Chain A
Amino acid sequence: MKSEKDQLLQKAQEEILRIFTSEYPSEKMPDFISKEVSGFGTTKDERIKGFKNFREVLELQYQQSKEAGIEVSYKKKPFKYWKDESGDLALLVNEFDLFVKNPEGTDKLDFRLSSLFQWIDDSWKLIHWHGSTPVNVVRDAWHLTEWQKKNKELQEKVEEQTKDLTLKNYQLQKAKEQIEEALRELKEAQEQLIQSEKMASLGELTAGIAHEIQNPLNFVNNFSEVNTELLDELKEEIETGNIEEVNALVKDIIENEEKINFHGKRADAIVKGMLEHSRSSNGQKVPTDINSLADEYLRLSYHGLRAKDKTFNATLETDFDQNLPIINVVSQDIGRVILNLITNAFHSIRDRKNNLNGSEFNPTVKISTKNFEEYVEIIVSDNGNGIPESIQQKIFQPFFTTKPTGQGTGLGLSLSYDIIRSHGGKIQVESGVGSGADFKLIIPKN
């Protein structure tokens, strides 16, 4: 490096080093940097194209070094260089120790810089450079270790997330099972409640009916006791030969037997009626005479209520459409609905009677049926206290009841609603406070 040009080249190289390692005034950079400079950096794997880009990168580097409190110094080592035939192109290759001082200490780096200079306008300008620091790993020409490390980290992350997901999935599965179990239990409880409502309504009937059976049974017992006495008397009169008395006694005995028979059959009918009601419905639709069904359940209900409370008195009216055809329904279920409506009607008129206390009130329950082309209509009417409009929709809700606690399950109308709905029909109420209520059942003929 003896000629002036060579000396200028050396100077240019030193300036370039200073540019890379310390804060260098950007207005002086064009003295040593070509407008079309390109380069590959090592700091951030930067690719530089053009002076503007070069300056931006360096200014950013200066700023970050300042912020991080970094000071860079270097120790030069002899460098290599090549020149081309023209003498206007020179490649310089430098290796040197770079000392990076940061607030925690000083780091030493091996730095390599290849710079290509061109003689432009009587000065050497950098046209391309490449800076690098070696990766400090033996036998890792292709940076496999780093790649593997990154890969391993990724895998570990994925594994962790998979574990996490698997756990969450398991927890969800468990939660799902718990919910299904809870749902099963709820359904069971619902079944039990419906069953207990059926039992309750059956229970109400049976209490009244058991009560009612007492009367005919009393007659059966009493008349048979009487007949035992009469038969003793008969024996005596036969011995005495009193034919007249014998005949009179025989007549009485026969009459009494007839009464025993009558009341026995009466009790039997009551029991049969009760068993009929309690028999589980198998859900089968059978051809049913709605008029007789309504009549039967009207009497059954009145019977049951009177048995519990013989002071209860009501006028029963029926208005059956004689043209009503036989239709296919689950007769026990429809019967249950009619029973429910009639029972409610009776309760309503009894309440009103109790409130009015002796005035001119004639409690009446009426059942009427009407035949329409597509459906049959059953109406249960009463002249009780009526139902306020505010609760007319609530009455069909499960557990809604206006009776005092302990009386009634509140499921009667809700079950009735379900039964009618399952027949494809409708249940409607028309009522006003003080003007009784009409419950209308509409059952399609199918």
Chain B
Amino acid sequence: MKILVVDDEKDVKTLFEQRFRKEIRSKTVDFVFAFSGKEALAYIDKLDHEAILILSDINMPGMSGLELLKEIKEKELTPKPIVMMISAYGDEQNYNTAKSLGADAFLTKPVDFKLLKEKLQLN
């Protein structure tokens, strides 16, 4: 499974690589990291009908996660990418907006990796 992680915090990459090291080693998942919405879109545009799961933070400078979500949904890609949004604790407003924009799942920070792994396996 290809997973695109979008977050402006650079250490998110290290964290994911550490937390998913077994899965990465066993090639169950293949992580790609983008540090802005723009970067993420550039990567998505280069995809050639590949299944992808996008895990994006909402609060980012420049293009927000919600704007990215909107753009992705408008692209009408095949296969349809699964988009999961990560937001800050207690942010109901963004949760509602993400839902209305068609987000497939929702996570709050701090990310519960156990829960995330469960969600990924269910998909």
Q: Which residues of A contact B (CB under 8 A)?
A: 211, 214-215, 217-219, 221-223, 226, 230, 252, 255-256, 259, 263, 306, 309-313
Name which residue of chain B comes closest to A259, CB basis: B11
What are 14 pairs between A and B in contact, CB < 8 Å? A211-B88, A214-B88, A219-B9, A221-B110, A222-B19, A222-B110, A222-B111, A222-B113, A226-B15, A256-B18, A310-B58, A310-B60, A310-B61, A311-B60
B109, A218: Cβ atoms under 8 Å?
yes
Q: Is the interface of B mostly helix, strand, loop or mixed?
A: loop
The number of residues on chain B lying at the interface, defined by a beta carbon within 8 Å of a beta carbon of chain A, is 20
What residues of A have a CB within 8 angstroms of the CB of B19 in the complex? 222, 226
Q: A214-B110, A222-B111, A310-B8 are in contact. List 14 more A-B contacts (CB 8 A).
A: A211-B88, A214-B88, A214-B89, A219-B11, A221-B110, A222-B15, A223-B15, A226-B18, A252-B18, A256-B18, A259-B11, A263-B11, A310-B58, A313-B62
Q: Is the interface of A mostly helix, strand, loop or mixed?
A: helix
| Cα separation A255 to B21 with both chains bound (whole Å) | 15
What residues of B have a CB within 8 angstroms of the CB of A256 in the complex? 14, 18
A215, B15: Cβ atoms under 8 Å?
no
| Cα separation A256 to B14 with both chains bound (whole Å) | 9
Contact of A218 among B14, B58, B59, B110 (CB under 8 A): B110
- 6 nearest A-B pairs in the assembled complex, by CB-CB distance: A310-B59, A311-B64, A218-B110, A226-B18, A313-B61, A222-B15
Tell which of B9, B15, B18, B88 has the most Cβ of chain A within 10 Å.
Answer: B18
| Cα separation A406 to B105 with both chains bound (whole Å) | 33
Contact of B15 among A214, A219, A306 (CB under 8 A): A219
Name which residue of chain A comes closest to B58, CB basis: A310
What residues of A have a CB within 8 angstroms of the CB of B11 in the complex? 219, 259, 263
What residues of B have a CB within 8 angstroms of the CB of A222 in the complex? 15, 19, 110-111, 113
Contact of B111 among A218, A226, A306 (CB under 8 A): A218
Name which residue of chain A comes closest to B90, CB basis: A211
> A-facing mask of B96-113, CB < 8 A → 1, else 0?
000000000000011101
A311, B110: Cβ atoms under 8 Å?
no
What residues of A have a CB within 8 angstroms of the CB of B113 in the complex? 222
| Cα separation A218 to B19 with both chains bound (whole Å) | 13
What residues of A have a CB within 8 angstroms of the CB of B61 in the complex? 306, 310-313
